[in-house]
Structure 1
Amino acid sequence: MKNLGTYKPEYDPLIDVYADIFSQYLRANKEFEESGYRYETETAAGGTKKSAIVATLENLRKDLLAYSDRLCLNPKSLKNNDDDGNDNKPPKENKLSPLDQFLSSQM
C-alpha cells in the first residue's frame, strides 16, 4: 500500500481484518485441497448440495474482494482512487486538448 501511495495509519484496523480474512481463506483452501476438492456432499434425503467448505470459500472470496477494494489493493479500485483524486498524490495536471488550446487563445 505504501508503494501504491494508498496507505494511511488510520487503515491499520481494516488491514488487520483483511489479513485475518486472508488467513482464514488460506486455511479453508488447504482444507478443501486435503478433502480432494469435494465440491458436493450428500444430503439426508439422498441428494447432493454444495459442501460447507465451498460455501465458506465463496464467502471469504467476496469478503476479500470487498476489503481489497476499500484498501485499493487491486487495479480497478486503484484506478478509481486515482480518478477520484482521493489519494495523497498531487493532482494530475489538466492538459488541454489542441482544440481547447485554440479556443482559449481566441478569447
Structure 2
Amino acid sequence: MVLVSKKHVIDQMKALGTYKAEYDDVISIYVDMLKQYALFMKQFKDSGYQVSEEYTNKAGATNQRKVPVLTALETLRKEIITYSDRLQLNPKAAMIDAVNDKPAANALDQFLKAAGRA
C-alpha cells in the first residue's frame, strides 16, 4: 500500500472541487488512519495472514481467538470509509452529492404531477 500524504488528499479534493481549509483537521486524521492501516497490513502480511491464535483465559481454558491486528484492520477499514465519505473521496459520496444537486420540484408541480395533470 502506498502511503498517502496530506498534500495528496488535498490535491485529490481540489481536483474534485470539494476542498475547504476547514477540513484540514479531518484530513490529518484520515491520513493518519491510512498510515496506521498500512502498518497493520504489513504486520498482518508478515504473520502470514494469520487469522486466529490460541488464547488462554484467566480460568485456564485455551480457545481460538481472532488476532488483534485483524480486529484493528477491520475497525480501521470502516473508519477510513466513513472519513472518505465525509471528505467526498469515493464514488458513494459523489453519487449522494449528485442526487442532492437535483433541483427540488415546487409544491405546485408536485400537486399537478400527483393529480396527473402535468
Structure-2-length-normalised TM-score:
0.70
Displacement of 1:8 in angstroms is 0.9
Note if 1:14 corresponds to 2:45: no
When the two chains are superposed, the root-mean-square deviation of aligned CA atoms in Å is 1.9
Structure-1-length-normalised TM-score:
0.77
Query: Between Structure 1 and Structure 2, which shows a larger proportion of helix residues?
Result: 2
After the TM superposition, list the runs of 4 or more consecutive aligned residues in structure 1 that deviate by more than 4 angstroms: none
> Tell me, which stretches of 5 or more residues in structure 2 are unaligned?
1-12, 104-116
Aligned pair partner of 2:85 in 60, 69, 83: 69
> Tell me, which stretches of 5 or more residues in structure 1 are unaligned?
86-90, 93-102
Between the two proteins, the alignment pairs up a number of residues equal to 91
Supply the AA of the counterpart residue of 2:78: K
Which has the bigger relative contact order, CA under 8 A and spacing at least 6? 1
Q: Percent identity?
A: 42
What do the CA deviations read for 1:53-74 (whole angstroms, capped 9, x no partner)?
A: 0000001101101100100111
